[in-house]
Chain A
Amino acid sequence: MRSTKLFLSAFVVSTMISAGANAATTFVYCSEGSPEGFDSALYTAGTTFDASSRNIYNRLVEFEPGTTNTIPGLAETWSVSDDGLEYTFNLRDGVQFHTTDYFTPTRNLNADDVVFSFKRQLDKEHPWNQYTAGTSWEYFNAMSMPDLLKDIVKIDDSTVKFVLNRPEAPMIANLGMDFASILSKEYADQLEAAGNKEDLNQKPIGTGPFKFQDYQKDAVIRYQAHEPYWRGKAAIENLIFAITPDASVRQQRLAAGECQFNPYPNPADLDAIRADANLKLPEQEGLNVGYLAYNTKVAPFDDPKVRKALNMAINKQAILDAVFQGAGKAAKNPIPPTIWSYNDAIQDDPYDPAAAKQMLADAGVSDLKMKIWAMPVQRPYNPNARRMAELIQADFKEVGVDVEIVSYEWGEYLKRSKDLDRDGAVLLGWTGDNGDPDNFLAVLLGCDAVGGSNRAQWCNEEFDALVQKAKIVSDPAERTKLYEEAQEVFKREAPWATIAHSVVFKAMNNNVEGFKIDPFGGHAFHGVDLKQ
């Protein structure tokens, strides 16, 4: 026993000594899963974006760290034509692609790279459109880019023009998204000539702060700082993603110093993290909303008074306590507070079962029986839909409404909940893509989305007119006003019960400096340093 203990202690000591020697420049991030690949345009998962677009690539337009505001990225400036149909981008000079053991660039970033990065997604005949088995460009499609983009034209080496089919104010925000990352055309040409096209997704080359070094599947990803990065070399020399899927184990690794950052701590571990003098736990509201969508096409839920009454019967605080365990904030609007144009002047419906009961009676509703759909999966905006449904069931019983809880397999749930004649109210939610209010209000509540992502099947002319107008107006102040008004209409008409926005916690070692919580849920490490 004694010798075993000595033997084991020797490992630990040797490991700690060597770790100490490297600690100055090495940052270990305990990531929650494996990336699907490294070409971010092929995927939609945040885990993949963390490992690819957020650290390896840049976009024409980027989001200011910690906010949803757009700032210049690889495009230094841009202009929009008067009719809103042409966006002209002037590229930054002297931007270098990564030099690795598998690629040495001979030129800097130019318009060809931008055209290549988008054309491969837009043009079905493009030689890179189907470069790997089952390529589907899901995010590009989900953001309706094929309908929106008419063409992408190279004007000269440092100027690119995007031609649109219709004006679309959120276009700039779309270009800040992960699918819009800029890849090297020179590298793609080299791979094509060598017959190794798949390597574009396995051995990435970008312009971002970190260059890819190695990936051992499901275990570890290694990156090195890109010396000539145009925003300045990252303070972290070696960035390591230690893939650790179990949340409790991630926490143990963080506490043991095996990594410096745990992106998704368990709610149950939060108190222990706060109590640990070596750790810190910044928090921020997530860019999401969890809601209960009534089917506004089916009586009596077609009556706003009934919906309003039911909303007043829901005890949100009880849900926040039981379901979110302190990691949630009550939602009053359909967009989260981190998005510009959030209307903070709006008052939430008060929790008042007695008044709710009276309102239902006034609306002529008695002995109401309804279904509530509970999602079978855990999502950031709803960590336990079954529990949430049970709490709402109890709340509704107080006002004389009988609730039956139903659920389906996730794919089926998503599909059936779109049905126009769906029986029941659906628990669901949304995580923002580009920080534009349009991405919530038009996508989830617009008339075009009825029978699709508009689960309330709610088409309100006044609301829709405001949201459609905001799509084509490019002045941010005017857009803000329109969205604020739209939120008032939403509150009055109550197609949903807005339940909560999750609160995001990031557990990290005290010596981690400069990390800003990304409202989009991403983890980018340029600007992060380890205090000595």
Chain B
Amino acid sequence: MLFYYFKRFGVLIPTFLGVTVASFAFIRLLPGDPVLLMAGERGLTPERHAELLKQFGFDRPLWEQYLDYFLGIFQGDLGNSLVTKKPVLDEFFTLFPATLELSLCAIIFAMAFGISAGVVAAVKRGTWFDQSLMGTALIGYSMPIFWWGLLLIILFSGTLHWTPVSGRISLIYFFPQVTGFMLIDSLLSGQKGAFSSALSHLILPTIVLGTIPLAVIARQTRSAMLEVLGEDYVRTARAKGLPPRRVVGLHALRNALIPVITTIGLQVGVLLAGAILTETIFSWPGIGKWMVDSIFRRDYPSVQGGLLLIALIVMIVNLIVDLLYGLVNPKIRHTGG
């Protein structure tokens, strides 16, 4: 067991080193000089260009720049944004709670509906219900997020006026950010109606961001359930005369959930990628939109710092999933994974 955990942690070190190199290299491999982009059509003289490259440290050899970046990581210094001039770490953690709040809501939504839909589809295998559910899941999986988001806005906000169009809370509410989580901060503010406003602003982005994970979880749950429902112990449970609800809910689902947990863990990456588009559509001030802006502006420190932090988060979540997996499935921890 202990060996399994050590091994899992051990893998993190080379992965972390790889991520630092990849995040550093990625933005530099893209064509485009941040100084030229900053100047735009106005342009600048070669002397001024050289002066600015020097000022930002981009004239130094790449290995020196990398070393600076790498050593900075251990001092909690990811450099300053070329655009806002603020420390990258501050920028990231100002925006991260918004992305985390949205992602958590989306994954809860996806799990709640995805697992239920998968179980029902497996139990009613082959019926029109199963087929239409799985067909819908396939559509959900293939849905372009941008189009889906706009469609929901036009229908629910523009036509039916049920939900607000975008943002995190109605602009009439103004209170300091304590945790960065709007649901919590709105409660803390004590302002009447603030919490319900924050909740109503979460509905559409949650659905949009949760759609793809929902579809994946539903399909994975269905196939895992089908496999488990064919197992001997389930047949035995049925033969013993246990009520179907108990057989499915207690015996089958618990075992079927093991691969589903892995799937959910893998969805963290999908959520962060989806957040880029979802945040843009819903004017959601999170890290997805910030990363895109930084890439377009070739804001090297922001892109490399942001990528590193996002990769770290994905790594940590996957580690937790792996450890959970080990707890749930004794076979894995005994064989050493």
Contact = CB atoms under 8 A, between A and B. Distances in A.
A12 B162 contact: yes
Given A242-B283, A410-B32, A415-B36, A133 B165 contact: no
B154 interface: yes
A217 B94 contact: yes
Contacts of B168: 219
Contacts of A348: none
A28 B158 contact: no
Contact of A414 (B41, B86, B280): B41
Interface in A1-54: 5, 8-12, 14-15, 18-19, 22, 26, 28, 33-34, 36-37, 42, 44
Contacts of A431: 41
A14 B167 contact: no
Contacts of B174: 214, 222
Given A138-B38, A245-B283, A246-B281, A252 B153 contact: yes
Interface in B40-66: 40-45, 48, 52, 55-56
Given A11-B196, A141-B48, A411 B170 contact: no
Given A242-B171, A411-B31, A414-B43, A252 B55 contact: no
B95 interface: yes
- Residue of A214, A217, A243 with highest tally of chain B CB at under 10 A: A217
A11 B37 CA distance: 44
B285 interface: yes
B91 A219 contact: no
A8 B162 contact: yes
B172 A453 contact: no
Contacts of B55: 134, 136
Contacts, number: 169
Interface stretch (B77-85, B100-108, B123-131): B77-85
A358 interface: no
A418 interface: yes
Nearest to A4: B162
A44 B40 contact: yes
Interface residues of B, number: 63
Given A219-B168, A219-B285, A222-B174, A414 B163 contact: no
A201 interface: yes
Interface stretch (A253-261, A303-311, A390-398): A253-261
B305 interface: no
A246 B298 CA distance: 21
Interface residues of A, number: 64
Contacts of B150: 248-249
B283 A14 contact: no
Given A255-B158, A411-B31, A452-B43, A218 B285 contact: yes
Given A245-B280, A410-B37, A15 B197 contact: yes
A256 B95 contact: no
Given A242-B171, A244-B166, A256-B161, A249 B283 contact: yes
Nearest to A414: B36
Identify which of B45, B165, B167 gathers the most chain A CB atoms within 10 Å of its CB. B165
B172 A15 contact: yes
Interface in A488-511: none
Contacts of A42: 85
Interface in B120-168: 150, 153-154, 157-158, 161-168
A132 interface: yes
A220 interface: yes
Interface in A109-165: 132-136, 138, 141-142
Closest CB pairs A-B (n = 4): A218-B285, A219-B285, A411-B36, A133-B80
Interface of A: 5, 8-12, 14-15, 18-19, 22, 26, 28, 33-34, 36-37, 42, 44, 132-136, 138, 141-142, 198, 201-202, 214, 216-220, 222, 240, 242-246, 248-249, 252-253, 255-256, 258, 408-412, 414-415, 418, 428-431, 452-453
